[in-house]
């Protein structure tokens, strides 16, 4: 007995003497860690995931790669601190280092909504998708949404949200574009910084992803992106730089792909030279789930955390022992991990409630959804619906099964979704019941006939595949036109992780969809009634061939759980549309500058087949060469004067706005130029306007796009007759382009034209200033030099 008491007391004294995270310095804690404990801190604790039998059968050996029996060693004690989270970091209890929890995703927290033997529910708010948020161009609104989002993360006991997603919309077919913001890096960076600042104001972290040049899903785990240093710096990295410098995200997620020959998670150039040396990033980098191959190379590159964690601990321990991994490198990774953990709610012992205010957050989601909607067409002021348009015929399967967000890790487990039909009813409009029943019957039968899931990953996650559109004949259309006041035709699209979209029947409307728009519009026009198309889509589609047909087109995007209510807010005029396109709608897919090199080519597979863990995810070796260079989106269409269907920055309002009084603080550039304009609402209803500042720079040394977005501002809700002054600031950074020869940002001497537009084409005011002498604005590391010659597009102005 006495012996026991003595031993226990000795242990207690020992524990008391051990350094403790938060009480002792990080250096002391590191000194007390064993090699195995250090490895535990840089490797996540594994993943548990239930896969339906039908999918399991197709996996190597018919086994799940996610559980311990498949050869994927799950390390650490708990993988499931919060049910349904995406991962957990390892802890070391004796030194006071807790595990932390990370969870998806960009449009809302993704955790399991129900738990075994627990009657409580854990639903989360499905906010509008990233593309919708960016289309609001409203940094303040996005910041406030971030606060609500962050509160939800905090109250559900999660430390880091795996978002925002902020890859550039290089090509409309990328299956994950809905998660991302824009084809433009400034919009991307500013909207990302706003949401990160909002979320992190609540004491939880973010993981901006996927770093970098991850612009497709085809062969996403194996594709080698070959891209010039200039296109990287100006287009693909610039949004990340802005987010890092303006919002200090706690973490960055490296992507699956390779850039110029190296997996991003193994790239010292990307994760150390660019991210840390050039941009001064202070947080941790984590891999995308099972990303990269070589754990030691990842540590050396500065990828501090391998997620979700598999059998890499042994590799790391062995490498330190045999001298292939310098212990100082591992200590640096661990130091960053500890500094990260110190900030987390879990370390601080936050007692989360599990009861965030979902009602308040739903209102925020609804308002955000309306702000992101873009009114593309409104002939003869067809919208808002007039007082006599009470009876509505709702066409399209997605009026009933709205697509509120995309599939994969970007999907949210929300408590409910409001369909367009429900939204109409909530606003006391009548939706034609017989038409609704026809659609319901059709969906039931069509779903029963669906055999092969189009997107296996989505199916694995239990997502319902949308059914093909229902053909509508003239008789049905005529009957509906007879008994209703107006037609709403919804065209829906869903896509997500693991798969890119197709040109046929996806980017382009199917024949059934085209016929639907035609037949219904004609039938309603025959009765002197109107037809409105609602686009419930996550990415760009073809509109040029059919847009002349309906009276109005509302681009609703994938608007989150309040979808139907938000759309009806716009249709009825309760909210005035104020969204604008952050991505161009081209005339045809062939016009897209990357159409010829998306998604690249598959290469001969000389490597021995990867066995076991996640081999099914590896894809075929592939490469994609970014021959479009810096000419992405409007930078291309504008420079080569290619007509588009709806241009970047475009969006209508129920009001009119007049732009006037352009003032530049100076005609000579000296450090910075302040630009102000006045915007007046000359319409009959209150509204908000997004003003955009484009700059055309001299192009004697470097070729340049016709103009580039360098600032934007959204007015408050202006009453009829009310004005607001919008201010922009141009610093030397906005003047500069990336000169690969000197690896620096260079502002060329000459005349800079300032164009203030309601879109990239609708330029309202012009001015200019001069820069007397060329400036080197910033020198950057030489990094990510392409391994092969790229035949890049190069257009002079």
Residues with a known catalytic role: 288
Distance from the Cα of residue 283 to its chain's centroid: 20
Residue 571 main-chain phi, psi, to 5 deg: -60, -35
Give 602's strand partners: 622
Count of alpha carbons within 13 Å of 364, Cβ hemisphere only?
23
| Minimum distance of ligand BGC from residue 255's CB (angstroms) | 8
Q: How far apart, in whole angstroms, are the C-alpha atoms of residue 753 and residue 710? A: 12
Q: How far apart, in whole angstroms, are the C-alpha atoms of residue 568 and residue 156? A: 31
Distances, alpha carbon 647 to alpha carbons 64, 299, 408, 440, 484, in Å: 46, 43, 29, 36, 34
By beta-carbon proximity to ligand BGC, the closer residue of 167 and 397 is 167
| Minimum distance of ligand BGC from residue 102's CB (angstroms) | 8
By beta-carbon proximity to ligand BGC, the closer residue of 265 and 409 is 409
Instruction: Specify the 3-state DSSP secondary structure of 77.
Output: coil
Contact 134, 188 (CB under 8 A): yes
Residue 533 main-chain phi, psi, to 5 deg: -100, 135
| Minimum distance of ligand BGC from residue 110's CB (angstroms) | 8
By beta-carbon proximity to ligand BGC, the closer residue of 86 and 186 is 86
By beta-carbon proximity to ligand BGC, the closer residue of 617 and 775 is 617
Annotate 503-570 with DSSP letters as a single string.
IIIIISPPHHHHHHHHHHHHHHHHTT-EEEEEEE-SS----TTTTTSSSEEEE--S--TTHHHHHHHH
Contact 554, 537 (CB under 8 A): no
| Minimum distance of ligand BGC from residue 19's CB (angstroms) | 32
- The structure tokens listed for 436 are 């609704």
By beta-carbon proximity to ligand BGC, the closer residue of 167 and 272 is 167
To which H or E segment does residue 676 belong?
strand 672-681
| Minimum distance of ligand BGC from residue 48's CB (angstroms) | 13
Pairing of strands 101-103, 160-161: parallel
- The structure tokens listed for 603 are 């290469």
| Minimum distance of ligand BGC from residue 616's CB (angstroms) | 13
| Minimum distance of ligand BGC from residue 162's CB (angstroms) | 4
| Minimum distance of ligand BGC from residue 466's CB (angstroms) | 21
Q: How far apart, in whole angstroms, are the C-alpha atoms of residue 73 and residue 44? A: 11
Residue 394 main-chain phi, psi, to 5 deg: -105, 110
- The structure tokens listed for 46 are 């594994």
| Minimum distance of ligand BGC from residue 184's CB (angstroms) | 22
- The structure tokens listed for 557 are 């995007």
| Minimum distance of ligand BGC from residue 251's CB (angstroms) | 11
- The structure tokens listed for 87 are 């991962």
By beta-carbon proximity to ligand BGC, the closer residue of 209 and 704 is 209
| Minimum distance of ligand BGC from residue 336's CB (angstroms) | 20
Q: How far apart, in whole angstroms, are the C-alpha atoms of residue 361 and residue 364? A: 5
Q: Enumerate binding residues for ligand BGC (CB under 6 A).
A: 86, 104-105, 162, 209, 288-289, 409, 497
| Minimum distance of ligand BGC from residue 301's CB (angstroms) | 19
To which H or E segment does residue 438 belong?
helix 433-449
Give 750's strand partners: 771
CA-CA-CA-CA dihedral for 625, 628, 632, 635, to nearest 10: 160
Sheet holding 657-664, edge to edge: 657-664, 672-681, 723-731
Contact 256, 221 (CB under 8 A): yes
Contact 91, 85 (CB under 8 A): no
Contact 490, 559 (CB under 8 A): no
What number of other Cβ atoms are within 10 A of residue 324's Cβ?
12
Instruction: Specify the 3-state DSSP secondary structure of 293.
Output: coil
Residue 173 main-chain phi, psi, to 5 deg: -85, -10
Quick one: 456 exposed, middle or buried, by C-beta within 10 A (0-12, 13-18, 19+)?
middle
Count of alpha carbons within 13 Å of 144, Cβ hemisphere only?
12
């Amino acid at each position: 007995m006495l012996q026991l008491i003595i031993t226990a007391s000795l242990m207690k004294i020992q524990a008391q003497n051990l350094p403790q995270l938060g009480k002792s310095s990080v250096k002391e804690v590191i000194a007390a860690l064993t090699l195995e404990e250090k490895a535990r801190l840089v490797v996540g604790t594994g993943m548990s995931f239930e896969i339906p039998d039908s999918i399991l059968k197709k996996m190597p050996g018919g086994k799940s790669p996610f559980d311990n029996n498949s050869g994927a060693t799950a390390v650490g004690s708990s993988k499931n601190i919060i049910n349904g989270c995406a991962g957990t970091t390892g802890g070391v209890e004796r030194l006071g280092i807790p595990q932390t929890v990370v969870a998806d995703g960009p449009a809302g927290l993704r955790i399991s909504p129900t738990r075994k033997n627990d009657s409580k529910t854990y639903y989360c708010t499905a906010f509008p998708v990233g593309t919708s948020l960016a289309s609001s161009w409203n940094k303040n609104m996005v910041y406030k949404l971030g606060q609500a989002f962050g509160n939800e993360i905090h109250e559900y006991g999660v430390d880091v949200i795996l978002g925002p997603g902020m890859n550039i919309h290089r090509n409309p077919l990328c299956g994950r574009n809905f998660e991302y913001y824009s084809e433009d890096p400034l919009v991307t960076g500013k909207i990302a910084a706003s949401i990160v600042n909002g979320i992190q104001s609540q004491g939880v972290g973010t993981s901006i992803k996927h770093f970098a040049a991850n612009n497709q899903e085809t062969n996403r785990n194996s594709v080698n992106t070959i891209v010039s240093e200039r296109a990287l710096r100006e287009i693909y990295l610039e949004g990340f730089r802005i987010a890092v410098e303006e919002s200090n995200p706690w973490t960055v997620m490296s992507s699956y792909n390779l850039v110029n020959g190296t997996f991003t998670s193994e790239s010292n150039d990307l994760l150390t030279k660019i991210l840390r040396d050039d941009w001064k990033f202070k947080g941790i980098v984590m891999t995308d789930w099972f990303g990269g191959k070589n754990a030691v190379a990842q540590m050396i590159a500065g990828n501090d955390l391998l997620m979700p964690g598999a059998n890499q601990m042994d590799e790391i321990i062995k490498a330190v022992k045999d001298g292939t991994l310098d212990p100082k490198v591992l200590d640096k990774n661990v130091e960053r991990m500890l500094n990260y953990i110190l900030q987390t709610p879990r370390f601080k012992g936050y007692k989360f409630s599990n009861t965030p205010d979902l009602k308040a957050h739903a209102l925020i989601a609804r308002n955000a959804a309306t702000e992101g909607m873009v009114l593309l067409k409104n002939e003869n002021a067809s919208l808002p619906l007039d007082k006599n348009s009470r009876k509505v015929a709702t066409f399209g399967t997605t009026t009933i099964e709205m697509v509120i967000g995309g599939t994969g890790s970007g999907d949210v487990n929300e408590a409910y979704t409001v369909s367009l039909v429900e939204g109409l009813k909530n606003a006391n409009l009548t939706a034609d019941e017989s038409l609704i029943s026809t659609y319901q019957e059709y969906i039931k039968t069509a779903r029963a006939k669906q055999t092969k899931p189009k997107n296996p990953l989505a199916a694995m996650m239990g997502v319902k595949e949308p059914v093909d559109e229902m053909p509508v004949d003239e008789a049905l259309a005529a009957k509906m036109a007879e008994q209703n006041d107006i037609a709403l035709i919804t065209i829906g699209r869903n896509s997500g992780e693991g798969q890119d979209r197709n040109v046929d029947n996806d980017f382009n409307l199917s024949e059934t969809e085209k016929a639907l728009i035609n037949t219904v519009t004609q039938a309603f026009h025959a009765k002197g009634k109107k037809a409105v198309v609602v686009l419930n889509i996550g990415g760009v589609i073809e509109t040029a061939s059919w847009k002349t047909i309906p009276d109005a087109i509302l681009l609703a995007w994938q608007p989150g759980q309040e979808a139907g209510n938000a759309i009806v807010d716009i249709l009825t005029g309760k909210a005035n549309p104020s969204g604008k396109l952050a991505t161009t709608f081209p005339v045809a897919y062939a016009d897209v500058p990357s159409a010829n090199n998306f998604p690249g080519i598959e290469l001969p597979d000389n490597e021995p087949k990867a066995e076991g863990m996640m081999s099914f995810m590896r894809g075929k070796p592939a490469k994609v060469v970014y021959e479009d260079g810096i000419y992405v989106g409007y930078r291309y269409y504008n420079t080569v004067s290619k007509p588009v269907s709806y241009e970047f920055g475009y969006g209508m309002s129920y009001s009119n706005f007049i732009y006037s009084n352009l003032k530049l603080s100076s005609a000579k550039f000296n450090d910075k130029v302040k630009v102000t304009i006045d915007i007046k609402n000359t319409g009959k209803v209150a509204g908000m306007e997004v003003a955009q500042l484009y700059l055309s720079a001299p192009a004697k040394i470097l070729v340049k796009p016709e103009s580039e977005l360098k600032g934007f501002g959204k007015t408050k809700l202006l009453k009829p007759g009310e004005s607001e002054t919008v201010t922009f600031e141009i610093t030397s950074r906005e003047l500069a382009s990336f000169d690969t020869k000197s690896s620096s940002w260079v502002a060329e001497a000459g005349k800079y034209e300032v164009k203030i537009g309601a879109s990239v084409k609708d330029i309202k005011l012009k001015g200019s200033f001069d820069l007397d002498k060329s400036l080197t604005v910033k020198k950057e590391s030489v990094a990510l030099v392409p391994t092969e010659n790229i035949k890049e597009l190069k257009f002079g102005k």
